[in-house]
A and B are shown apart, each in its own frame.
Chain A
Amino acid sequence: LTCSSGRTVTACIYSLAFPLQLLSRQICVSSAAWRKNLAAAGPEKFSEEYIKKQVEEFNIGKRHLANIMGEDPETFTQEDIDRSIAYLFPSGLFEKRARPVMKHPDLLFPKQTAVQWGEDGRPFHYMFYTGKQAYYSLMHDTFGKVLALEKYQDSMRNKGLFTKDTRQMSLTGSRWLLKEELEELLVENISDHDYTRFLQLMERLLSMPYCAMEEEFVQRFRRQLEVQSSKQEIPAVQHDENGVAFSQAEGRRKTAKASIKLRDCGTGSITINGKSYLLYFPVLQDREQLMFPLHFVDMLGRFNVEASVEGGGHCAQAGALRLAVSRALLSFVSAGEMESMRQAGLLTPDPRVKERKKPGQAGARKKFTWKKR
């Protein structure tokens, strides 16, 4: 008797007619049972020689690529590599991570901890048996610094030179490391509790008077905040051949895109896509939207507007034009008026877009008819 998918061992004791089926048990060992349980193995481990070999191959391959592209192998940077790969292997795949990539192995292979003990079995780190050696040794060093600062404070007090007004570190514009960043730094997993404890200890270090002595140690665990420019960008005032001042600006609303040129002429004419605004916007509401920024700063008859707009419906186009006109006006208006325009909501782009339709519903919010039974 043989199974279709593998070996069979038939444990059959008696060869009787009917009870044969009951007594003989087929122990079918299929090939599925021989295959390793891949999920239980965990993430793949790469040995040091393997990664070294990969680095050598990468460097040789980089030089080959430079020769293929006809460029100098010595000054071939990572951007050149990316450009060359995109040229030689064009890919239309949407997932960026599925496209062909050639990067240094240190960036591709995840960082792993090497074997922690020597030939004689003695671990290298004195806190190996705690399990989280990097984190606990960091806590130990930080606490050691706290104690050292306290001792220094006491010695200054004994000499009578203790002052509270010492040089303070500048901590503005920087933030503490995130938990993920700390894990990456230590190459170890830590819990939320550990992370909180670490931050508490650092805050305690910073609360001491002479903490400026440990500045470089603390700065290792701080990251600069990204500078967020929340200032309005005022478009520059340009002058055309006749000496007339004008400014250009763009605005968007839903799918409509508008770009305008605001001329400081004297007439109050508005042209959109070559047509007069009365013809382009027959609805009063749209014309009101167009007038609002000029009416707000009382410069209705002063400017000429030449606009081009595409996309969206009539309301979206009107909204896009309104935003573009407000932005262009910034270059002709004082700072106080700019602030009042901002508070009126003229300078804020409207973030509302069409909500997507969900499966199992008729529309974005509309559900199918609910039936009780």
Chain B
Amino acid sequence: MAARVLMKAIHSLRSPGVVGAALSCNGHTFSSAAAAARPAAPSVDAGVNEKILNVPLTQPDYFRLSELFTVKDLFEARVHLGHKKGCRHRLMEPYLFGSRLDVDIIDLEQTADHLQRALNFTAHVAYRGGIVLFVSRRRQFAHLVERTAQECGEYAHTRYWQGGLLTNAPVQYGPGVRLPDLIVFLSTLNNVFQTHVGIRDAAKMNIPTVGIVDSNCNPSLVTYPVPGNDDTPVAMELYCRLLKMTINRAKDKRKRMELLKGI
């Protein structure tokens, strides 16, 4: 029973009211073959379904993510350290606290606020069974990011980005492929210090993005930018840990809601 409701809920990720029919949103079509085999009362399930999806939207911090980190934690993980003044990107100036000995310092109060919003959004996406794709083109942290994605049950891409990955997906992977519902960039630059192609492609395909923007990155086109350091191992481990905890929390909450409402 709980599994049935789960399947129905996942199928109607974007539009909670419609159940069973072939949905088409943002160019992805997913038809539920299993829906045809389920003859049980759809109206009761639809009501329960709606409640499951709408209850988290009632409160601002439903998943209590503000308990996960403090500004002091960010400071100890050296998230405030940016690059030198010469590498500074013009659009990052609002996020900088200042510079000390030519090194840009990122404003941790703004970072905390942005991070809170980004984690909240990630939690909601994971709660609704969305696909989260972790992207990072830094060789140093590729293994860490992939391991994080494996442990959350989500997906990772820390390798060479093929051009038509998002924009030409039905041709590359086969018809009926489902694209990610959220892309998390743990570093928005690629190996030649240019903006990662995935940011532009995600914007083209209407996929929201969360991105850790350092002081030499371009924060435009990222839906939820999080100004912070992306070069230190401590900082990367902090981000990975926080993301893993939010996603696991959201998924556990979802399972519990289904069991509660299912009864």
Contacts and interface: CB of A to CB of B under 8 A. Distances in A.
Contacts of A115: 174
A83 interface: no
B220 interface: no
A116 B10 contact: no
Category for how many chain B residues contact A: 20 to 34
B12 to A, nearest CB: 11
B178 A119 contact: no
A319 B97 CA distance: 93
A115 B30 CA distance: 14
Contacts of B129: 120, 122
Contacts, number: 58
Nearest to A146: B143
A147 B141 CA distance: 13
Interface of B: 7, 10-11, 28, 30, 32-34, 129, 131, 133, 143, 146-147, 149-150, 153-157, 159, 162, 165, 172-174, 176-178, 180
B146 A128 contact: no
A123 B155 contact: yes
Given A120-B10, A120-B11, A121-B178, A126 B156 contact: yes
The DSSP consensus for interface residues of chain B is: mixed
A140 B143 contact: yes
A296 interface: no
A128 B155 contact: yes
Given A127-B155, A136-B159, A120 B7 contact: yes
Interface residues of A, number: 20
Interface in A115-163: 115-117, 119-123, 126-132, 136, 140, 143-144, 147
Given A120-B10, A121-B28, A122-B131, 17 more contacts: A116-B174, A117-B177, A119-B7, A119-B32, A119-B33, A119-B34, A121-B176, A122-B178, A126-B150, A129-B155, A129-B165, A129-B180, A130-B157, A131-B162, A131-B172, A132-B159, A136-B159
B143 A144 contact: yes
Contacts of B143: 140, 143-144, 147
Contacts of A132: 159
The 3 nearest A-B residue pairs measured at CB: A121-B178, A120-B10, A121-B30
A83 B103 CA distance: 80
Contacts of A121: 28, 30, 131, 176-178
B154 A126 contact: yes
Nearest to A193: B160
